[in-house]
A and B are shown apart, each in its own frame.
Chain A
Amino acid sequence: MSQALDEIKIGGLGASRKRVEDNRFIRGKGNYTDDITLPGMLHMEILRSPLAHARIKSIDASRAWEIPGVHLVLTGEMMATRNLAWMPTLSYDTQAVLATDKVRFQGQEVACVIADDPYIAKDACEAIDVEYEPLPAIVSPMQAVADGAPVIRDDKENQHDNVIYDWEVGDAAGTERAFAAADTISRLRLHYPRSHPSPIECCGSIADFNRATSKLTVYMTTQAPHIIRAAVALVAELPEHMIRIISPDIGGGFGNKVPVYPGYVCSILASILLERPVKWIEDKSGNLISTGYARDVYLDGEMALRSDGKILAVRMHVDADHGAFFSDAQPSKFKIGLIHSAFAAYDIPVAHLTARGTYSNKAPGGVAYRCSFRVTEAMFFQERMVQAAAVDLGMDQAAFRRMNFVRDDQFPHRTPFGFLTDSGQYGKCLDVGLRAVGYEDFLAKQQEARARGRLLGIGISTMTEPLGAGNSREYDILGIKMFDSAELKVHMTGKAIVRTGARGQGQGHETTWAQIVSHELGIPAEDVVVEEGDTDTAPFGMGTYASRSTPVAGAAVAMVARKIRAKARRLAAHLLEVSEEDIEWELGRFYIRSAPDRGVTIQECAMAAYSNMPDGMEPGLQNTAYYDPPNLTWPFAVYIVTVEVDPETGVWDVLNTVAVDDCGVRINPMIVEGQIMGGLTEAYAMASMQFITFDAEGNCVGSNYMDYLLPTSWETPGFELHSEVVTPCPHHPIGAKGIGECAAVGGPAAFVNAVIDAISGTGVRNIDMPLLPDRVWEAITYRRDVSGVPPVRTDD
C-alpha cells in the first residue's frame, strides 16, 4: 500500500512554505509598473494646484507647448470637450479629472504634459501659467457646516451647503430607553486623524492604445484590475473587450491603489490622442497630497452602563471629512463603510449610530487603508470607549471586557447594528494575552513605579472585524456584486495553473493559492503556478483590499479544486474499473474502498483526462468557480501593549507588544505572522507619529516623507505573536478568515490606551493620535485632554 502524502511536505495547508515571489524580488527582477518600457513611450507629468481653494481665472500653456520634446498639454478645458473633465466616483459623486472652474484642494490636478522625457515634461509643467483667485479654505467638518461657510461643490446643481449625507443605523428609540435606565453614562469624543496608506511605490500607469487593433492596454498600479476595466469602459466609453488592464508587481497597496485617479485617465486619453504609449509615474508628494487618504473622522459616543459593569447600550455619532469629492471606495449600500461594525465583539442589546459626511478642501479618497471599510475607526473608538467606561466604573479593564464579551456559545451572534458574527473564543484569546504579558505582575510593578515617579501603562485592545465582502445580497460597488472567482487548469502531467481575479501586493498569493490547491488535490504546491492581474487572462474578481482575498478568492480556489477533484474521481473510477461509489479519496490519491492498495494518483487522473477518458466524457481537466460568500469572516484578536512615559518630555517607549490573533485556519503561518507584524507596525505608526494635517489656509502638512513621519527599523518595537487560539470559520471552505489588516485595525487603541493608562493620575481622558511627545507632555503638564483637530497653528 502506498504511503499517504505528508501535507506539510508537499506545501499544503499549514506549511510555512517559502514564498515563490521572493526569487524575483531578491534579485531585483520584479516587474513593477515603472520598470516597464514600451517602444515609442512618452512620459506624462501633472501640474498640481498650490492652493487649497481658488477660482481659476486663466490657464496659459503656450510657453509649455514651445518646449522641444513636448507632445501634448492637457487642461480641464480640453478634457471638457471630450466630456472627461469630470469622472464618476465609487460613491455616486463626481470628481474633477483636471480642474476647470475651481481648484478644491492643494495638490489637485490642473494640467498635464506629455513629452519625450519626464524631465522635459516637468520643465513644461513649470512653464504653464495659471492665475488663481484664492477662496477661504475649509479643513474640518465643523468649519464645513458653520454659518457662512463657502460652498465647495458649487459645480453641483442642488448642493447649497457642504453636507454630503446624513445616515443612521440601529434603534434610536430603544437606545434612548436604555440610556434612561442606566446607572452610569460614559462619554468620549475623539478625532481619528487623516492618514495616508503610503505604499513605498507611488501610483502610475502606462496606457498603450493601438489604433490598428483598437485595443487599449493599460499597465497600472491597481489592486482591482477588473473594476478598473469596467470603470474605463464606462468613463471612456470604450468597449470592455477592447480594454486590457494589467496590474504587474505592486510595491504595496494598503487601499491606496483601489481608486481611479485622474493621472490614469489622463494617460489613457493622451495615449488615444497621440497613438503612443504614455507613462505616468507619480512622485511621492503627488501621491501623498492627492491620492486616497484614510480615516479623518470625529467620533463622539456614549455608553449606558449598569453599576455592575454590564453595557446596556451605545450611542455614536460620526462626522466624516471626505475632502473635496466623495470618492470613498466602499460597498454602495453604506455611506461610511462598515463603521457600524463597532462593538461587534460585545454583547450589547441595543445601539444607535448617526453619521454626517461633509466636503472640505482636502484630497478625496476615503480608502480602506489596511482595513475593511472604516472598521479601523470603529474598533479604535470601541476600545477607547471601553477603556473610558472601565475607568468611570472603577473596574479592571480586562474584567470589564470579559464580562461584556459575546460568549463562545452565542454564535452566530447578531450585533445591535445588524451584522452576524460567525465564531470566536474571545475570552480564551484574552486569557492568552494577559498571561503572555504577565498582567497581574505588571499591575503590581506599575504601582511600585508610580510611587517612585515613573509612569508605566498597560493598554488592551480587542477587535473583531467583518472581512471578505460580499455576500452579494448586501455588498456591491456601483451595483457590481462583490464575489470572486478562480480558474484552475490541470495539465496532463499533473502540473497546474490557477488564476484568480484578486491581485496581491505582497500578501503572497502566488505562494498561498498553490497551497490551497495542494490541500484540496494533493498536487505538490511547487507544481502549481499562480497568475493574477491581467484582465484578459484572469477570471473576474473584485480585487484585493479589505482583507477579502483569502475569504473570497481563496475560497473560490478551494471550490474550483473540488470541482476538479469531482471530475478526477470519475476518471479514477474509469481507470480502476469500479463505480464511483466504491472509491475513496485521500490526499493526492483515489483508491478502492475494499482494496485500499489499488488506487490512482491525481496525476494519473490528469493524464487520463487527456489520454484515456471514458466514452462520452468531455476531455481535459479545468474549471472555474465563482464564490459568493454566505457571510463575512470574523477574526478576533487581542493586542496588549505596555509603555513607559517620560513625565519630563512626554516621550513614550514601548516595553512589550503582545498579539493574540485568532484568524481561523492559517494557510501559511509564516505569511500570516508577516501580515500581523506589518499591521502592528502601522498601528504603532498611527499611534505615535503618522498623520496628515492642514493649516488654516488648507496647506497640507505631511505631503512628503520629511513631514509625513513613518517609523523606521529604529523606532519600531519588537512584537510577540501568539497563535494558540484557532476558531475555524464555520462557512469558509477551508475554515480561514481574513488576517491582513487585523493588527492595523485593532492595534492603535492598545498603544493609546497604554499611554492614557500610564498618565491616569492626571485625569486625562483623551489625547488625539498621534501621541506626539509634545501632546503627551501638554496632557501631563496641564492635566487636560489634547485635541489634534486641524487647522494646526501656522507660523505667524
Chain B
Amino acid sequence: MTIVYDDRGDEVASEVPVRRIRFTINGERKVAEVEPRLLLSHLIRRGLGLTGTHMGCDTTNCGACTVLVDGRAVKSCTMLAVQADGHEISTVEGLATASELHPLQEGFSDEHGLQCGFCTPGMMMAAKALLDSNPDPTEEEVRWALSGNLCRCTGYQNIVKSVLWAADKLRSQS
C-alpha cells in the first residue's frame, strides 16, 4: 500500500522497512512490496482488493479468512504476507470459472448452507482443502475438517450437507 506522509522534516517515514515478495494468487503471478509485519489477509483484502476473504477475529479462531496456500487451508490472518513469498495462494474468488460455479458454491446455495454469508468463503476454502485430499468424506470427517471455522447463523447441519453435496457432484464428474 502506498502511503503519502505529511513532510515534517524527519526521517521516520522513509525508514518504514519494505520487502519485495513474489507469489501467485488464483493463478496470476504477482510482485508486491510490503511491510514485513503486514498480514497475508490484509495483503489479499487491501493490496489485491480481493474482499471475499473476510476477517472475523484476531486470534485464528473463526476461520473466515481461510485461503489455500500451496493447496493447504491456512488462516490468512495468522500468516505474514512475506511468508507467502514464492507460494501459491487460492481465494474464494478463484473457485468459479468464467462460465460455471465450483460444486462447493452450488452445494452451499442448494443446501442453504449460508445465511449472512460472512463465514462462507472460509468454509468453502476449508472444505476445498478437505475434498482435494479426501473426495469421499463421511459426515464426521466433514465436521472435523470444518471445526476450525465458526458459523453463527446456520448451526452447521446445512453446511455439512453442502459439502457432501459437492463431494457427490465432484465424484460424479471425475
Contacts and interface: CB of A to CB of B under 8 A. Distances in A.
Interface of A: 18-19, 21-30, 32, 34-35, 37, 67-69, 116-117, 119-120, 198-202, 249-254, 283-285, 505-508, 670-671, 673-674, 677-682, 704-706, 710, 712-714, 716, 718-719
Given A28-B52, A677-B158, 6 more contacts: A29-B52, A201-B54, A671-B112, A712-B149, A712-B156, A713-B160
Interface string B89-102: 00111011000010
Contacts of B118: 30, 32, 199-201, 251-252
A28 B65 CA distance: 11
Q: Give the interface SS of chain A, mostly helix, strand, loop or mixed.
A: loop
A756 to B, nearest CB: 24
A704 B60 CA distance: 10
7 contacts: A19-B112, A69-B6, A198-B152, A199-B116, A283-B58, A674-B158, A678-B153
B155 A681 contact: yes
A200 B64 contact: yes
Contacts of A119: 35, 37-38
A200 B54 CA distance: 9
A713 B56 contact: no
Nearest to A118: B42
Given A23-B109, A704-B58, A68 B10 contact: yes
A28 B115 contact: no
Contacts of B93: 27-28
A706 B152 contact: no
A54 B4 CA distance: 39
A506 B150 contact: no
B119 A28 contact: no
B159 to A, nearest CB: 7
A19 B96 CA distance: 18
Contacts of A254: 152
B132 to A, nearest CB: 18
Contacts of B8: 68
A712 B96 CA distance: 27
B5 A705 contact: no
B54 A32 contact: yes
Interface residues of B, number: 66
A201 B159 CA distance: 18
Interface string B147-174: 1111111111111100000000000000
A585 B152 CA distance: 43
Most buried by A among B50, B64, B156, B158: B156
Q: Give the interface SS of chain B, mostly helix, strand, loop or mixed.
A: loop
A28 B56 contact: no
A26 B116 contact: no
Interface string B57-69: 1110110100000
B56 A284 contact: yes
B120 A25 contact: yes
Most buried by B among A28, A68, A671, A714: A28
B62 A200 contact: yes
Contacts of A680: 155
Nearest to A715: B147
B116 A117 contact: no
Contacts of B112: 18-19, 670-671, 673-674
Interface in B10-38: 10, 12-13, 35, 37-38
B53 to A, nearest CB: 7
A68 B12 contact: yes
A714 B144 contact: yes
Interface in B104-132: 105, 108-110, 112, 114-121, 124
B120 A252 contact: no
A22 B146 contact: no
A468 to B, nearest CB: 20
A678 B154 contact: yes
Nearest to B96: A27
A187 B145 CA distance: 45
A680 B35 CA distance: 44
B72 interface: no
Contacts of B159: 713
A34 to B, nearest CB: 7
A705 B13 contact: no
B115 A68 contact: no
B117 A30 contact: yes
Nearest to A24: B117
Contacts of B61: 704-706
Contacts of A21: 117
Contacts of B151: 200, 713
Which 9 A-B residue pairs are closest in the complex by CB-CB distance?
A28-B52, A251-B118, A25-B117, A506-B116, A506-B115, A705-B61, A28-B92, A681-B155, A677-B155
B55 interface: yes
